[in-house]
Structure 1
Amino acid sequence: MSVKAPDKPIVIELNINIKQEVVYRLSADAGQTIEKNPEIF
């Protein structure tokens, strides 16, 4: 029995988690900015 590599490359999708983390951080920063500067809204 022999083991050979698959014909197609293995693709792992990580974009979803990265986007969620960035959006969460941005929303948290925005919330802090609004609290510190309520007069700009």
Structure 2
Amino acid sequence: MKRQKREARRRTLIGRGLAVTIGAMALGGCVQIDTPDKPIEINLNINIKQEIVYRLDGDAKKLIEQNSSIF
């Protein structure tokens, strides 16, 4: 009786293993990777806005006004 159960269990395991193997082989052919015909185009709309705020003390402002030809 025990021998029959072991044989049945063994056959079940072999059958399941075979089914998994066949299934894996069948699914292995489904994956395809192709290169695109056209180059990949990426459109990025980026607005970069930069504001520089500076404050000059009275002496520096006066110096710039006196030597405006330098700037």
Q: TM-score by structure 1 length?
A: 0.58
Based on CA coordinates, which of the two structures has the bigger radius of gyration? 2
Match of 1:26 among 8, 16, 21: 16
Q: Output the amino acid matched with 2:22.
A: Q
Paired-residue identity, % = 0
Return 5+ residue gaps in structure 2 as ranges.
32-71
Tell me which stretches of 4 or more aligned residues in structure 1 moved more than 3 Å.
none
Return 5+ residue gaps in structure 1 as ranges.
1-11
Q: How many residues align?
A: 28
Higher relative contact order (CA 8 A, sep 6+): 1
